[in-house]
Amino acid sequence: MKKELKDTIIVELGEKLKEYPHFYLVDLTGLNAEQTSELRRNCFKNDIKLLVVKNKLLHKAFENSETDYTALYECLKGNTAMMFTQVANAPAKMLKEYKTKKQEIPALKGAYAEESIFVGADKLDQLVAIKSKNELIADVVALLQSPIKNVVSGLNAGGKIHGLLDAIAERNK
């Protein structure tokens, strides 16, 4: 590969690192063409961009980045693919789905999600547990609605009690 092409790839990887706030490093060793196509389709459905990268070029892109990715350097061995996403837990959920089907591939090597670095396949459950922005907004809205619902139901019940008290008062007259 020519140096100009390598430099172009390093720059493009750097742009992807800036464009997407979260990425996963996975090992695809052992996937046949059909399985790879299925993985790519699943990634497309979940708005995940899948790229197979050369470890040395990715290492250079990490070095050129403003963010410190040194903890991920140990993941750059063997076959490496990157999953870029806007939603932190989307690739983790997809990889967990493959695990439930008793498939060991694709295997998580490491990830950068929510400005934290996760190294190792054992971190998959932690990554699945990360809530997306929309999930957090839904939680906040539910928390805000709960007291309002209690007040409204209390007011409705208060109107019923007031009506009962009026009826009792009229009977006693």
Segments making up each domain of the chain, as ranges: 3-130, 131-173
Q: Are 118 and 69 in contact, with CB atoms under 8 Å apart?
A: no
Q: Can you give the pTM of this predicted structure? A: 0.74
pLDDT digits (tens, 9 = 90+) for 26-51: 998 888 888 889 889 999 998 999 99
Does CATH place domain 3-130 in 3.30.70.1730? Answer: yes
- What is the edge-to-edge ordering of all strands in the sheet holding 116-119? 49-53, 80-85, 22-27, 107-113, 116-119
**CA separation for the pair 4, 2 (Å, rounded):** 5
20, 42, 75, 117 from 82: Cα distances, Å = 11, 14, 11, 14
pLDDT digits (tens, 9 = 90+) for 54-105: 999 999 999 998 889 889 899 889 888 999 999 888 888 888 888 777 677 7
Give the DSSP H or E segment for 107. Answer: strand 107-113
Please report, as a single letter, which amino acid is at residue 135: E
Locate 102 and state its tokens. 């008793």
Work out the number of other CB atoms within 10 angstroms of the CB of residue 84.
20
Provide the β-strand partners of residue 52: 81
Please report, as a single letter, which amino acid is at residue 117: I
